[in-house]
Each structure stands twice: as structure tokens, then as C-alpha cells.
């Protein structure tokens, strides 16, 4: 049986997922430029109070985080729709 890699770090397809990057509000314009440099000018982006939601492939996530770090921009959170989909049956209630 073949293991399903869809939406995981093992996926190298051109599939796009919604990903939210949270940064300090004054860094949002820099985040936008980095996303465009990596994924292209026509990448879907929705600017929010503390970050940007964009539609990108999974392999771009670490590239964007690495670029943010190289520019000394703190990342407060990264949340992808593929991660949410995989974890929908997971509960953290048992951790408390």
C-alpha cells in the first residue's frame, strides 16, 4: 500500500494550500515581498491584522520562513490548510 503524501512535507507537487504567516504588523509589507519573490507576483494574498494568508505550495513554507529569519523578522505562527485538514481528528484535550 502506497503512503499518502498529500499536504505533508513529503509532497513535491504543484498543489497549492492556504497558509497563514503571522508576524509583527510593521513587518507585513516585508513578508508580502518575500512571498512574491518566492511564489511570484500573482500569488493570492489576503493581508490581515497580524500577517498574511496566501495560497502557496507546501515546499515554499520553509523557504519563506528561512527568508524571514534571514531578514531578522520574527515569525509568531504558521498555519496551513493542509495541516488543519490532517489534524481535524486530533484533540489536545488529553495534554492538559
Domains within the chain, CATH numbers bracketed: 17-84 (3.30.70.120)
Q: What predicted TM-score, i.e. pTM, was given to this entire model?
A: 0.83
Distance CA(11)–CA(40), nearest Å, equals 20
- The DSSP-derived string for 12-79 is -SS--EEEEEEE-GGGHHHHHHHHHHHH-TT--EEEETTEEEEEE-TTHHHHHHHHHHHTT--EEEEE
Mean pLDDT of the chain, nearest integer: 88
**Which carries the bigger pLDDT value, residue 49 or residue 7?**
49
Among the listed residues 23, 90, 74, the one whose alpha carbon sits nearest the alpha carbon of residue 52: 23
Angle value at C-alpha 39, between 20 and 75, nearest 5 degrees:
35
In the predicted model, is pLDDT for residue 70 greater than 90?
yes
Amino acid at each position: 500500500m502506497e503512503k499518502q503524501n498529500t499536504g505533508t512535507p513529503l509532497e513535491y507537487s504543484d498543489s497549492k494550500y492556504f497558509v497563514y504567516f503571522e508576524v509583527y504588523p510593521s513587518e507585513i509589507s516585508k513578508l508580502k515581498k518575500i512571498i512574491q519573490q518566492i511564489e511570484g507576483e500573482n500569488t493570492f494574498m489576503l493581508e490581515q491584522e497580524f500577517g498574511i494568508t496566501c495560497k502557496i505550495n507546501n515546499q515554499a513554507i520553509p523557504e519563506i520562513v528561512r527568508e524571514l529569519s534571514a531578514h531578522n523578522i520574527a515569525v509568531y505562527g504558521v498555519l496551513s490548510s493542509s495541516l488543519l485538514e490532517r489534524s481535524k481528528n486530533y484533540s489536545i484535550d488529553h495534554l492538559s
